[in-house]
């Protein structure tokens, strides 16, 4: 079975986790760990490492190399 990840802030020692309803009556392992605090100057959402790497693509559906350089054409 896939793991269920729940990210929340604890406001009480009593938790209400409706995401776990499919697991009612089953044996489960529960692990709680504190999430590291992100520095205030960093982005808190995930950004692709490739974001911003291509500045401009004039022909996104064109061939990667000119047709005369294809091995199949020789």
pLDDT tens-digit series, residues 15-58: 888 888 988 999 999 888 888 876 666 555 677 777 777 777 78
Q: What is the distance, to the nearest Å, from the Cα of residue 5 to the centroid of all Cα atoms in its chain?
A: 12
In angstroms, the CA 48 to CA 53 distance is 10
In angstroms, the CA 37 to CA 13 distance is 20
- Mean pLDDT within 59-65: 83
Contacts of residue 19, defined as CB under 8 A and 6 or more positions apart, other chains included, come to 4, 6
pLDDT attached to residue 70: 79
In angstroms, the CA 37 to CA 44 distance is 10
pTM over 0.85: no
pLDDT attached to residue 43: 55
pLDDT attached to residue 41: 60
Question: 39 or 69: which carries more pLDDT confidence?
Answer: 69
């Amino acid at each position: 079975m896939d793991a269920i990840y729940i990210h929340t802030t604890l406001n009480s020692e009593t938790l209400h986790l409706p995401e776990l309803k499919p697991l009612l009556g089953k044996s489960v392992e529960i692990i709680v760990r504190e999430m590291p605090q992100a520095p205030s100057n960093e982005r808190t959402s995930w950004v692709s490492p490739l974001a911003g790497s291509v500045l401009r693509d004039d022909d996104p559906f064109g061939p990667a190399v000119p047709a005369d350089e294809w091995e199949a054409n020789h």
